[in-house]
Amino acid sequence: MTLNKQFINGIFIKRYKRFFTDIQLDNEVVTAHCPNTGSMMGLLEPGNKVYLSESDNEKRKLKYTLEVIKLKSKHVGVNTHRTNRIVEQALNDNLFKFIKKIQEIKREVKYGENSKIDFLVTTEKEQVYIEVKNVTLVRDSKIAEFPDSVTSRGTKHLIELSKLKKKGIRPIMLYVIQRDDCDKFKIAKDIDPTYAENFSKAIKQGVEVFCYDCKFSKKDISINKEIKFINA
């Protein structure tokens, strides 16, 4: 997705109370909102270069948002609020190989037991329910993993998706790797065994899995290419 302004360069100092980060800009230290509720394992080293976005909304308590953390020459997108916008743009641009001839795209559609699917996509042939997860964790070289902490909400989404195939609906788990340094993806079974167990059940019940990484510029984060899923 293309932003209205260029990102602002900064240096990461610390994260606290989950949603706050202190960032060193050229002449001042600012507090930026951190939308990512995960652990952000391996990303929060003091001194890491970061990109911030700046809001013109005067009603916001924090005008800066943490968008990207740089690890040497690599980029990691950490704003989970942007993930669905990135996916929506890719759907509109027909960038995903797994879905073609799209007629309608709806966001945040209620289904199941008090759940909302990220995207309900209608094609010429079928209805497709797409649940999106943002991925930032890498522990082994070039292998992205999800989740980076225990996610009961994520487990609930898997269970809900698993029920759709019997209703004639095509269910998809889409993992968006907001990084540009990975060529494989796997489930982090040791971090959340319950999620991993329900993930395996979901696949057996017809849930399809796709993984895509992203590309970055000073103003843009967008879907790049499909990444191989390894069921290890």
- CA gap 215, 225 in Å, rounded: 9
The structural domain count of the chain equals 2
Which of 23, 48, 77 delimits the end of a domain?
77
- CA gap 130, 120 in Å, rounded: 6
The per-residue pLDDT for 37 is 86
* Residues 130 and 37 reside in one and the same domain: no
The per-residue pLDDT for 112 is 85
Token pair 């800066």 is found at 64
Residue 108 vs residues 13, 66, 149: alpha-carbon distances, Å: 35, 24, 24
CATH classification of the domain holding 96: 3.40.1350.60
* Residues 64 and 86 reside in one and the same domain: no
Is 2 part of any domain? no
The per-residue pLDDT for 1 is 46
The one-letter amino acid code at 108 reads: E
10-residue mean pLDDT profile of the chain (232 residues): values are 74 96 96 93 95 92 95 92 95 96 96 91 96 94 94 95 93 97 96 98 97 91 96 79
- CA gap 191, 144 in Å, rounded: 13
Q: What is the residue range of 52's domain?
A: 8-77
Rg (CA), the chain: 18
The per-residue pLDDT for 114 is 83
* Residues 138 and 50 reside in one and the same domain: no
